[in-house]
Amino acid sequence: MAPAPDTGVPVIELRGLARTYPGPPPVEALCPTDLVISAGDYVAVTGPSGSGKSTLLHLLGLLDGPTSGTYLLDGLDTSTLPDRDRSTLRGRRIGFVFQSFHLLAYRTAEENVLLAQLYNHTPRAQRRQSAAEALERVGLGHRLDALPTTLSGGERQRVAIARALVNRPSLLLCDEPTGNLDSANADTVMELLADLHGEGFTIVIITHDTTVAARAGRTVTIKDGILSETSEEPPARVMTGAGHAA
């Protein structure tokens, strides 16, 4: 499986992106934020509970819209898209990996991956082959017909990663991908993500686990809705709120 071609345009570009939930009192869950994530980046977003990680995840994943600011995904302005167009873009450009796997219990591993292609309008004749190739890529080519209830936690997460990969997305967005796994399976999943990053996939991991975050090339921290970055990246890469700069 190969990622979407690199066009030279950032995969993610946030320009003053913010999200405020109405009150009373209003809650500024994400302060105005600028952030650039280029093709092939591997970024961990960390922070304590209630810091704004989930809000950022929902915005990056096009599951929610901002109160203000601009979100460019592959150079496309998503900020004012209607829900239908947002859903279409999400299905084509973003692959999700969740802590709880979100697999259909009575569908085989192959069927769970195959169903992700319905949103991408993949021709019927190609779906089964693409699903099998994605499962082969994550080391489960021999478990195509297995139901999730017969798989280990690590295998279920690898099925979820195969589902995320099958449409060759621009972005792999992972939410606590090892949160429900023991240490051995967590290591296997993190090694797989590292391999995918090596192949050119752009990966963003939302996590509170410092061990998981340490695997990424960049770490962005969010606290009280404010993003900051400590890395060797230029300071202009992340700026949050008035007077806040990484």
Write out pLDDT tens, residues 178-232.
999 999 999 999 999 999 999 999 999 999 888 999 999 899 999 999 999 865 4
pLDDT at 230: 67
Q: What are the residues facing 218 on neighbouring strands?
A: 43
pLDDT at 229: 83
d(CA 12, CA 202): 10
Contact yes or no for 212/190 (Cβ under 8 A): yes
pLDDT at 1: 67
Angle at 238 (CA atoms; ends 232, 243), nearest 5 degrees: 120
pLDDT at 231: 52
3-state secondary structure of 229: strand
pLDDT digits (tens, 9 = 90+) for 1-42: 677 777 789 999 999 999 999 878 888 999 999 999 999 999
3-state secondary structure of 24: coil
From the number of C-beta atoms within 10 Å of its C-beta (0-12, 13-18, 19+), residue 202 rates as buried
d(CA 184, CA 187): 5
Contact yes or no for 194/20 (Cβ under 8 A): no
Q: What are the residues facing 20 on neighbouring strands?
A: 28
Q: How far is CA 51 from CA 12, 30, 56, in A?
A: 21, 9, 10
pLDDT digits (tens, 9 = 90+) for 78-137: 988 888 888 889 988 999 999 999 999 999 999 999 998 887 777 887 899 999 999 999
pLDDT at 241: 47
Q: What is the pTM of this model?
A: 0.88
- The distance from CA 191 to its chain's CA centroid, rounded to whole angstroms, is 16
